[in-house]
Amino acid sequence: MPPDVPGPTTPLPRLDLARALVALHHGWITPARFRELTSRDPAERSVLGDLRLDPARLAELYGSTVLLAKPETLSRLAEDGAVPPEEAEALGPGDWIAGRYRILEVLRGGFGRILVCEARTGEAYARGNRRVALKTPLRHRLADLGTLEAFHREAAQWIALGAHPNLVLAYGVEEHLRLPFLVMEYVEGACSLHQEIQAGRMNWLRALWIALDTARGLAYAEQRLGLVHGDLKPLNLLLTPSGSVKVADFGLSLSRALAEAQDAETLAGTPAYLAPEMWFEAPQRTARTDMYAFGATLYETVTGRTPFPPDQPWLNRVQAAPDPRRIQGDLPSPFADLILACLDRDPDARPGGFQELLPALEALHLRLLGTAPPASPEPDAPAQADALANLAASWTNLGRLAEAVEAARKALRLDPDHWKAHCALGEARLRQGDPGGALASFEAAHRAAPGEVAPLLNAALAARDGGEAQVAAAWLERGLRLCEARNRYVDLDTASLLLVEHLPGEEALALLDRILEEDPAAVMTWNNRAVLLRRLGLPAEAAASADRALAINPLYAKAWSNRATALVELGRLEEGLEAAGRALELDPRLAGAYAAKAAALARLGRLEAACACIRNGLRLLPGNALLLRAEAAYDR
């Protein structure tokens, strides 16, 4: 047991809300157990022992991330944390993400998921496999727009860093079932520095190499983006089987390049690694607070314990860090002095950043060992054009369209025939409201890769959005022929509405059912199947198909809208009214939901409310043909 963890005879402090949140975050206690522990009067709450954690987990609990927030904020997080995950969170091994990543393992937490996956497409890099790690927030937390914004900010910063041997590589962002997924490098066989410290496998020489690799990665991040990591600690340093270090988890990072909508005073951190100045009002995350966390991490690496007792980390406000040589007598004095310099109570006395610290570490290695430090291995990363195409697609998914266009054009300057870059450029142009430019990009993608389905279907979608129905039908037909030749139809999911719009009803239904046979979770196909079944005069079957879409993704607004329309047609007016209301809560720009809600209200004899509903819709969607027809009908 680590020396700073309370032993059987040491009185345990009372349970505080923050530590209970940490235990829930790690999945060590259930939501029900969390509610039980935190619903007691604060003065009567049981001691931490009531968590019933083994010593290793208790040690991690004392060093794990907690929120330094106002009591009311912690209370709100407690209420959120006690919410059991929705059924829609239940992605598991064997499921597919965006049709490209098959889940092998799910690592669960209270605030998010890490999914270890195997990529269906893409190159196997130097490690010899196609494994990646996908990070996503829990669905019920996305109701808070701040959570989504924070996730997007982390993803944007991490992706913008690019490849470096000492940073976990972020490939890009995918979207699946309206959830964002950050696709990251999977470091096979890696363990955290925290695990190695707990196992007693550290010495000062390994600590020096770890310090060098960590500083290399963060000096690069500092130079490239002016990045402050914000949560540096042993749990966020991965040790690869070759012995090198990769810095992970940029969820609390701040950067000059992406400074908008960021607030350095919005603090979440890990108490044992927080600089003294962080305990005062209006703390600021800076390069020097990162430096303190780096010093605390090195101190723990060489001694096995944090500089101050885990339950009293705030002592650093009034006491200097103890000399690590008192615990580890063989620690060279120059290395101990460097650690203590990083831990100085005065921020101005610490090294100013990792670009400044790195040469000092390299000189220390030469002084102590007589040789220059070994270089880190080259990053296991895609070619530059591939990486830029991934970056362009990711910027589009994050809504940063100008940056998406720029990244795609950079990729095409490196490789003019890079079909994925052409597609990424087309998708960004389509989102920018330029269907003609998007169609030109998708045509170029098809010329570069005539055997790929995606450019054909994207070209059909761009032509449809540009009002060229015949051109859209021609591109769709080419896509269908390629699917038939491959005997694979699941790629049609994203274009399934085109099948409804351009093919005879029975033929379209057969193709939709074929997609669902290949992928029962093809949520867009279930939804568009509901559209088709309504057009075929089968509202009961349409409602059932919309229900299948909603079972997969309860936040799919268009499926709620289609369900509402089908229910109104079936005369189930109250249910239809409820479904339309849910659709508009999720997306207030759905004309079909306004029309369905108004129809239900009118048939319930609430004509004035129906007219008001249509007027509300027209305020957001002026000139919408469906709503204008409804307005004319109800105003008579």
Q: 617 φ, ψ to 5°?
A: -65, -40
Q: How many helices (H) and strands (E) does the chain have?
A: 25, 11
Class of domain 87-185 (CATH, top level): alpha beta
Residues 52-66: b if buried by 16+ CB within 10 A, e if exposed: ebeeeebbbbbbbbb
pLDDT of res. 2: 36
Q: CATH assignment of 191-369? A: 1.10.510.10
**How do residues 549-591 score in pLDDT, each as one tens digit?**
888 777 788 999 999 999 999 999 999 999 999 999 888 999 9
Query: What share of the chain in percent tops pLDDT 90?
Result: 47
The pLDDT of residue 611 is above 60 = yes
| CATH of 489-553 given 1.20.120, 1.10.287, 1.25.40, 2.60.40 | 1.25.40
Lowest mean pLDDT among 206-215, 392-401, 498-507: 392-401
Per the CB < 8 A criterion, the answer to whether 292 and 300 are in contact is no
Query: What share of the chain in percent tops pLDDT 70?
Result: 79
Distances (CA, A) of 589 to 496, 580, 585: 21, 12, 10
pLDDT range class, residue 263, cuts 50, 70, 90:
very low
The mean of the pLDDT values for the chain is: 82
pLDDT of res. 4: 41
pLDDT of res. 265: 43
Lowest mean pLDDT among 132-141, 328-337, 370-379, 434-443: 132-141
Tell me, what amino acid is at 413? R
Question: What average pLDDT does range 229-241 have in this prediction?
Answer: 89
Which phi-psi region, left, alpha or beta, contains residue 556 (left: φ > 0; alpha: ψ -120 to 50)? beta
Residue ranges of the chain that CATH labels 1.10.510.10: 191-369
* pTM for this prediction: 0.71
Tell which wins on pLDDT, 491 or 17.
Answer: 491
β-partners of residue 136 are 113
Q: Give ∠ CA 342-310-302 in degrees, rounded to 5.
A: 45
pLDDT of res. 196: 92
pLDDT of res. 171: 84
pLDDT of res. 12: 44
Q: Which residue from 355, 324, 328 is spatially nearest to 337, judged by alpha carbons?
A: 324
Question: What average pLDDT does range 303-331 have in this prediction?
Answer: 89
Question: What average pLDDT does range 7-24 have in this prediction?
Answer: 55
pLDDT range class, residue 349, cuts 50, 70, 90:
very high
pLDDT of res. 1: 32
Tell which wins on pLDDT, 634 or 259.
Answer: 634
The pLDDT of residue 44 is above 60 = no
**How do residues 153-196 score in pLDDT, each as one tens digit?**
777 778 878 888 999 988 888 877 667 888 888 888 889 899 99
pLDDT of res. 371: 92
Per the CB < 8 A criterion, the answer to whether 136 and 182 are in contact is yes
The pLDDT of residue 510 is above 60 = yes
Structure tokens at 500: 């409804």
**Rounded to an integer, what distance in angstroms lies between the CA atom of residue 545 and that of residue 500?**
14
Residues 200-238: b if buried by 16+ CB within 10 A, e if exposed: eebebebbbbbbbbbbbbbbbbbeebebbbbbbbbbbbb
Class of domain 555-636 (CATH, top level): mainly alpha
Residue ranges of the chain that CATH labels 3.30.200.20: 87-185
pLDDT of res. 259: 38
Which phi-psi region, left, alpha or beta, contains residue 356 (left: φ > 0; alpha: ψ -120 to 50)? alpha
**How do residues 448-472 score in pLDDT, each as one tens digit?**
999 999 999 999 999 999 999 999 9
Q: Which residue from 445, 555, 469, 484 is spatially nearest to 176, judged by alpha carbons?
A: 555
Residue ranges of the chain that CATH labels 1.25.40.10: 555-636
**How do residues 61-112 score in pLDDT, each as one tens digit?**
555 544 454 455 555 555 555 554 444 445 778 877 776 788 898 876 555 7
**Rounded to an integer, what distance in angstroms lies between the CA atom of residue 41 and that of residue 165?**
50
**Rounded to an integer, what distance in angstroms lies between the CA atom of residue 33 and that of residue 210?**
38
Q: Tokens 């610290």 map to which residue? A: 357
pLDDT of res. 314: 81
pLDDT of res. 368: 94
**Rounded to an integer, what distance in angstroms lies between the CA atom of residue 225 and that of residue 254?**
9
**Rounded to an integer, what distance in angstroms lies between the CA atom of residue 435 and that of residue 430?**
5
